[in-house]
Amino acid sequence: MAGFGITSEPICARVEGENYYIPLVCNRDGYLAIRIVNTTTATTPFIYTIELTSANTEYSVALPTGTRQFSMQPRTMPDGSEVTVRFAFEPGKVATPTEPYATMKNGAPYNEYNLYCGVITIYLASSTAGAVVEIVGWT
């Protein structure tokens, strides 16, 4: 095989009413690798505001089925103080920080794009009572 890379002409497939862009790639060994990317347009926005009323308590939010992308960030507290929020995608990880979990701070949102899955549940907690997390997404 002379080289490897993405072909100049992608294949477009339609499966169950959804469009998929399929770039073809040959790896270094000359094998064909296929990566399927859903290109269905997200059309319906949603906004959730989750108040973490009690400190170090786990709260959960289920995003709508078919969520294609979402972004979340904590709001600055009314007194202007910064907030750190812990989040995970499985229960029991954020009230008392237990790996795996991640953190978000004001002005540094967490983003996910190009999703194609069922229900996504996010678990949230903060050591600051009254912290608020904004979640904006599209299905």
By mean pLDDT, which of 17-31, 83-97, 105-119 is the weakest? 17-31
In the chain, domain spans: 5-38, 45-138
pLDDT tens track for 54-91: 999 999 999 998 898 999 999 999 999 999 999 999 99
User: How confident is the model at residue 5, as a pLDDT?
Assistant: 46
CB 63 within 8 A of CB 135: yes
The better pLDDT of the pair 107, 34 is held by 107
pLDDT at 105 over 90: yes
pLDDT at 13 over 90: no
Q: How confident is the model at residue 115 (pLDDT cuts 50, 70, 90)?
A: confident
Residue among 129, 128, 73 at smallest CA distance from 104: 73
The yes-or-no verdict on residue 8 having pLDDT over 50 is no
Measured distance CA(80)–CA(98) in Å, rounded: 28
CATH class of the 45-138 domain in this structure: mainly beta
Q: What is the pLDDT of residue 49?
A: 97
In whole angstroms, give the CA distance from residue 49 to residue 19. 32
pLDDT for position 75: 94
Find out whether 6 and 25 touch, Cβ atoms under 8 Å: yes
Three-class secondary structure of residue 1 per DSSP: coil
Which among 32-36, 109-113, 121-125 has the top mean pLDDT?
Answer: 121-125
Residue 3 is predicted with a pLDDT of 45
